[in-house]
Amino acid sequence: MKALVTGGAGFIGSHVVDAYLTQGLDVVVVDDLSRGARANVPAKARFRQGDVRDPSAMQAVFEEEKPDLVNHHAAQIDVRKSVSDPASDAATNILASVHLLDLAVKHGVERLVYASTGGVIYGEPAVLPADEATPVRPLAPYGVSKHTVEHYLFVYRALYGLNYVVLRYGNVYGPRQSSKGEAGVVAIFCKQMLAGVTPTIYGDGKKTRDYVEVSDVARANVQALKVGDGEIFNIATAVPTTDYEVFDAVRTALGIAPFEPHYAPKRPGEVDHIYLNAEKARKQLHWQAELSFREGVKRTADWFRDRSQKSGVRSQK
């Protein structure tokens, strides 16, 4: 079986590629390297540099590679950018995805796994933890664009028989996460603390998120190849973690002497509190998160420390 992974040179996508190779799949990666890194793609996977927004490039990929499965991780993921430029967000997350679905139908793809968002899609739920039946009320265009594709998937299954599974992620973190831009607070804090920079928390430090480690997420993508036809699953831990707890966990994992963060106003489009009920994934996808947050942060901090040592950046001890 051949799997095409869009965004497979990125943080989450590259871990999915690793997991698929372990399952014996033939894997092709398409990535424009705008956020991903060529070094993230394992040697056993074939790499094709290309932009999912380029219809002719993607058509060539499908014609030449003939994938049986598609795992769609390529996306615009910056919440702040989606607020400032919603048209660009929609072009990447909606229009490019719809074209991908057209190609999947045209070329007889058996299954499509779609990476959606559970951290943004529900907005500020009245009841927590949010499950898959919680009303979708995103506060940023990013959540709107990711949810819109879920509707297209439902329609394409009804019209053309395209099978799919939607995975709504909590806040994913772990090795290889980018410390650039808005996404990836664990990675940002690791990089800053190793460089002797005091991190900034936006808000009062009490905002909560549901952090799920990337190796657990990769396992969910493997399970989604086997079960869950036409279903949507929250992929998360159901554990709320505050911004300050993230700061403290990173500081502890790096073994840095106690100090306090800077604080700044909360940014537009950010929710105050979100964590997810993943019971449906446990029952139907046969998946649940295995790694605790502190364990996951330790793995992530060790990875960033190793990279900083190799690059000559010295951490404060």
Check: CB of residue 233 under 8 Å from CB of residue 168.
yes
Strand-pair category, 208-209 with 241-242 = antiparallel
CA distance 297 to 89: 30
Helix orientation angle between 11-22 and 214-223, rounded to the nearest 10 degrees: 50
Check: CB of residue 44 under 8 Å from CB of residue 29.
no
Helix orientation angle between 185-194 and 293-311, rounded to the nearest 10 degrees: 40
- Give me the active site residues, please: 142
63-81 b/e (C-beta count within 10 Å ≥ 16 → b): eebebbbbbbbbbbbbbbb
Residues paired with residue 35 on neighbouring β-strands, in sequence order: none
Check: CB of residue 216 under 8 Å from CB of residue 289.
yes
Task: Report the first-to-last Cα separation within the chain, whole angstroms.
Answer: 49
CA distance 227 to 235: 14
